[in-house]
Structure 1
Amino acid sequence: MRRKLAAAAMELFATQGYEATTVDEIAARAGVARRTFFRHFRSKEEAIFPDHDDTLVRAAAVLDAAPPHEHPLDTVCRGIKEVMRMYAAAPTVSVERYRLTREVPALREREIASVARYERLFTRYLLGHFDEGAHHDGDDDPLLAEVAASAVVTAHNHVLRRWLRAGGQGDVETQLDHAFAIVRETFGSGIGARPSRPAAAPRRRCRRRTRTRWW
């Protein structure tokens, strides 16, 4: 039912515009009552992203089932591939959603909120495999884990955005693997392993967090 409602919302947003579309119209297009819509979604913005909850669960399952010998960054990269698979499973819908998200601020904000959930999941996982105190004289601030998680998401975003702009065409798996190789080369020595040289003196760091979206 969630996907049926989402498909109805996408059709109406595309034909008559996001602002002009009401929840009642979405429910009618899907052939259900208004109360049925609200059993599945809290708002019409939420209806355009029906799969993020399930995808987050699948990504978490990848992390939970990681073999002990696997590098933590490799595990996170495998986890975020669940997001790309969600988009690649329905290229036409994904491309249209990309167009709508770029045009409608409310949808863009909803997507940003979804991205933040993935970043938090990956940051928590990396924190469990990294002791930043070894690098900063006992300062256990989670900066590097947060930056590494953000880098994985940014690499994914770059490839996803390029794929969407190409109309959902191209070998997205190969492009992702190339992007993730750059992330591993940059951050791989800091997570899952202690440095071989003495820790550098503590430095002042800016903690301001920026918001990321898939595109």
Structure 2
Amino acid sequence: MSQPAKSSRATAASDAPETAAGSRAAAQRLKMRRELAAAAMELFATKGYEATTVDEIAAAAGVARRTFFRHFRSKEEAIFPDHDDTLMRAEAVLNAAPAHEHPLDTVCRGIKEVMKMYAASPAVSVARYRLTREVPTLREREIASVARYERLFTRYLLSHFDERDHHDGNDDPLLAEVAASAVVTAHNHVLRRWLRAGGKGDVESQLDHAFAIVRKTFGTGIGAGRLAGPRVPSPAATAETAATGDVVVAVARADAPLEEVMRTIERALKEHHA
């Protein structure tokens, strides 16, 4: 009986170095990508984008040309070194979302990973922004990156609702897709405003304000009544129901927080069907 336990311990011990090695390799990969990106940005600023070659970028970073192409497919890709990792972090936020959280709130938390990426290096982000305004190729690359985030968030929202279930009275599939676009648009609006200001200002509070507008516009409609939450009365929201056939009326104060309003609706529906 003791042999399996010994085997399990041995397996865990052998897995640990592999996990640590994988983490180190990922960190080294990101470090090299950032070094190449920094070299590219400096050359673009001094020589100009069109006049700069991949060989010059590699040489400035102290690596061979083949090393550059192990990390980037082109020189325009080199100024966006963190997008792949940021996309994975955003997806991890979605995958780890608590069951009670409204999916729109989860998406807002996920896209904050993108803002963190820009805010981590304001000077680099501002220089990159100015460069993308001047070079159409880089602008197209940036648009393609934004589209990847939007697809991720749209898929997440639609996964909570049946996108094929289009019929009168069910607007969830439509709202899910529009809401995903709205979250990305709100994020990009705040980001551009922050970059134009030279990377100064409390960008996090500005982003929270923008997301509050998105939630107010779409949150009360998308997935209404689907949230699970504790059935604890709140002074901000109370439920009264009047049922006639399949009609249920829930009453809440106009200044109640969105989360309380959603819980009020759920309580009303549960009490009606009890």
Give the TM-score of the pair, scaled to structure 2: 0.68
Correspondent of 2:143 among 91, 112, 127: 112
| Greater relative contact order, per chain length (Cα 8 Å cut-off, separation 6+) | 1
Q: Does 1:27 align with 2:58?
A: yes
The count of corresponding residues between Structure 1 and Structure 2 is 198
Q: Which consecutive residues of structure 1, in runs of 5 or more, have no partner in the other structure?
A: 198-215
Show the counterpart of 1:193. Answer: 224
SS in structure 1 at match of 2:80 = coil
Q: CA deviation at 1:138?
A: 8.4
Larger of the two Rg values belongs to structure: 2
Q: Render the CA deviation track for 1:37-79: whole Å, top value 9, x for unaligned.
A: 0000000000000000000000000000000111111100000
Show the counterpart of 1:67. Answer: 98
Q: Does 1:48 align with 2:82?
A: no
SS in structure 1 at match of 2:76 = helix
Q: CA deviation at 1:146?
A: 1.7
In structure 1, how many angstroms separate the alpha carbons of the residues matched to 2:197 and 2:172? 40
In structure 2, how many angstroms separate the alpha carbons of the residues matched to 1:150 and 1:59? 16
Show the counterpart of 1:98. Answer: 129
Q: 1:129 to 1:189 in 2, by over 3 A?
A: farther
Show the counterpart of 1:172. Answer: 203
Q: Render the CA deviation track for 1:114-140: whole Å, top value 9, x for unaligned.
A: 001000000010002234677733888
Identity among equivalent positions (%) equals: 88
| Matched-pair contact (CA < 8 Å) for 2:172–2:222 | no
| Matched-pair contact (CA < 8 Å) for 2:190–2:210 | yes
| Matched-pair contact (CA < 8 Å) for 2:36–2:68 | yes
| Matched-pair contact (CA < 8 Å) for 2:166–2:173 | no
In structure 2, how many angstroms separate the alpha carbons of the residues matched to 1:23 and 1:177? 39
Q: 1:141 to 1:174 in 2, by over 3 A?
A: closer
Q: Does 1:137 align with 2:168?
A: yes
Give the TM-score of the pair, scaled to structure 1: 0.86
| Matched-pair contact (CA < 8 Å) for 1:63–1:76 | yes
In structure 1, how many angstroms separate the alpha carbons of the residues matched to 2:175 and 2:92? 23
In structure 1, how many angstroms separate the alpha carbons of the residues matched to 2:208 and 2:171? 31
Q: Which consecutive residues of structure 2, in runs of 5 or more, have no partner in the other structure?
A: 1-31, 227-245, 248-274
Q: CA deviation at 1:12?
A: 0.4
* Amino acid paired to 1:34: R
SS in structure 2 at match of 1:193 = coil
* Amino acid paired to 1:21: T
